[in-house]
């Protein structure tokens, strides 16, 4: 549970609530997006626990409780996605942050937080419903059998990212 007081500042409050999360059913072709019910618990230890059918799927320690934490609603992301970075003196996110998927660092995903805990500069993030079987296409321009400096990655839902190769 969480409350926002009249000054619009986030207030951490212990409690449990139900959450509708999405997942992908790969037993059918093409894969279908479905929903399931999860339980999320805000603990007195500043943790968010995600559970399903009595089993804890994920526990996030929330360092900065002055800001509303991101609540994941994608089962694959709950099970596989982790963000890594540094915290400042006031427990705010600072410096470079990167993502891992199932323990492996995701290339070109992440960005930088300012000393005040705000995202700054270029960020590459995942599409909202990114999952382990996400279909994507890479489009490269070749010259003399060599890729040129820009890759265009096409994700489902027409999401496009252009990345300059070094």
Q: Is a pLDDT exceeding 50 seen at residue 7? A: no
What whole-number distance in Å separates Cα of residue 154 and Cα of residue 95? 28
Spatial CB neighbours of 51, under 8 Å, sequence gap ≥ 6: 38, 39, 40, 41, 57
What is the predicted pLDDT for the residue at 5?
Answer: 39
Number of neighbouring beta carbons within 10 Å of residue 61:
9
- C-alpha count within 13 angstroms, C-beta hemisphere, residue 56: 7
Band the pLDDT of 76: cuts 50, 70, 90.
very high
Whole-structure pTM value:
0.74
Band the pLDDT of 162: cuts 50, 70, 90.
low
- Identify how many contiguous H helices and E strands the chain contains and give both numbers: 1, 13
Q: Across residues 103-117, what is the average pLDDT?
A: 84
């Amino acid at each position: 549970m969480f409350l926002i007081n009249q000054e619009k500042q986030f207030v951490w409050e212990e409690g449990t609530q139900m959450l509708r999360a999405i997942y992908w059913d790969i037993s059918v072709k093409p894969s279908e997006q479905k929903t399931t019910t999860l339980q999320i618990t805000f603990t007195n230890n500043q943790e968010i626990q995600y559970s399903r059918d009595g089993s804890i799927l994920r526990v996030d320690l929330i360092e900065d409780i002055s800001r509303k934490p991101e609540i994941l609603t994608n089962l694959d992301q709950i099970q596989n996605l982790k963000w890594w970075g540094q915290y400042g003196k006031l427990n705010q996110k600072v410096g470079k942050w990167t993502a891992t998927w199932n323990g492996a660092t995701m290339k070109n995903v992440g960005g930088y937080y300012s000393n005040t805990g705000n995202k700054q500069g270029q960020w590459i993030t995942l599409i909202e419903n990114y999952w382990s079987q996400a279909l994507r296409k890479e489009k490269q321009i070749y010259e003399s059998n060599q890729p040129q400096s820009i890759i265009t990655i096409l994700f489902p839902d027409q999401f496009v990212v252009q990345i300059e190769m070094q």
